[in-house]
Structure formats: structure tokens, C-alpha cells
């Protein structure tokens, strides 16, 4: 990661009142470098030997609590984590995801607006999310390739 990205990671951590540690920087850099949600299992594979499972788990929980990351369900009923792309946006505005039913990757859909929903006055929204399911381009291309070249 470049110096500018490293500065961004440090600034994000400090803005959330977190001390800057090796594991926090490493995990946050990973989320900043991808536009897909990542599971704890995948992170354990990526950082095998660098970070232990307990450190990864504790850091993910802390990042969710501090609203750096949010939990994203997947098609296989596991949990993945994604970075809040717009740290200044209100969570009431919501955000959207596309979940591939073939490879289980979850993509954050930047700029896709959720239409307002009218709720009874006794219900208070704390956040909203939209999940759109389908087949991603990578899986679609793979499928078309198999149809052409069986």
C-alpha cells in the first residue's frame, strides 16, 4: 500500500477513536483495497501466520461497533464484512449490495439509491439495506464460456 493509503488508514482509525495497531492497519487496508464483502474465514486464509483467528475476530467486531465495517449476509448463510464506503453518509439513507448466487461474492453498489419507505410512526429506522441477488459478470462469462466450449 502506498504512503497516501497508509495515511488514510491511520486517519480513519484515529477518527474513530482507535489506536493504530499493526493488525488494525492490515485489516482495514484489506477492506479499502476491495469492493466485495469478505468473510472472517477468507481473512484467516489471507493472513495465515500474520494474524491469528482471535485477533481477526476481535478486530472485526470492533470495526463493526465503530461503524468502519458492517455485516453482510451471504447466500450460504455465513457472514461477511464490508467497509462503509462513505463515512459521512447517514445510515438512515441505506445502501445496496449485489450478491452473486453462484460464487457468493457480495458487491457494494455505490450510487444505487433505495426508495423511501413509509413506516408507521411507532417504528424508528436505525438503518436500511437492500440486497439484490443474481449472477455477477465473472460467473456469467464463465458460464457462457462453458456453453460455447463444453
Q: With the CA atoms of 34, 71, 88 and 100 taken in that order, what torsion angle do they form, in degrees rounded to the nearest 10?
A: 50
- Residue 44 annotated in ligand binding: no
In whole angstroms, what is the distance from residue 68 CA to residue 84 CA? 6
Q: Which three cell numbers stand for residue 131?
A: 440486497
By the 8 A CB rule, do 57 and 19 touch? no
- Residue 136 annotated in ligand binding: yes
- Residue 100 annotated in ligand binding: yes
- Residue 139 annotated in ligand binding: yes
In whole angstroms, what is the distance from residue 117 CA to residue 90 CA? 16
In whole angstroms, what is the distance from residue 138 CA to residue 115 CA? 28
In whole angstroms, what is the distance from residue 141 CA to residue 50 CA? 35
Cα–Cα nearest to 42, from 131, 117, 104, 119 = 104
**Residues annotated within a binding site:** 100, 103, 136, 139
**Residues annotated within a binding site for Zn(2+):** 100, 103, 136, 139
Amino acid at each position: 500500500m502506498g504512503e497516501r493509503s497508509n495515511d488514510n488508514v491511520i486517519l480513519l482509525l484515529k477518527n474513530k477513536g482507535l489506536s493504530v495497531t499493526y493488525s488494525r492497519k492490515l485489516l482495514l487496508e484489506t477492506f479499502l483495497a476491495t469492493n466485495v464483502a469478505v468473510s472472517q474465514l477468507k481473512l484467516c486464509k489471507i493472513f495465515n501466520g500474520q494474524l491469528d483467528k482471535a485477533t481477526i475476530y476481535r478486530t472485526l467486531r470492533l470495526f463493526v461497533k465503530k461503524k468502519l465495517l458492517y455485516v453482510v449476509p451471504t447466500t450460504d448463510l455465513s457472514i461477511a464484512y464490508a467497509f462503509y464506503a462513505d463515512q459521512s453518509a447517514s445510515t438512515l439513507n441505506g445502501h445496496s449490495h449485489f450478491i452473486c448466487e453462484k460464487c457468493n461474492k457480495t458487491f457494494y453498489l455505490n450510487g444505487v439509491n433505495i426508495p423511501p419507505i413509509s413506516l408507521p410512526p411507532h417504528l424508528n429506522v436505525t438503518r436500511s439495506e437492500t440486497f439484490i441477488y443474481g449472477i455477477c459478470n465473472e460467473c456469467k462469462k464463465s458460464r457462457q464460456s462453458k456453453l460455447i466450449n463444453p
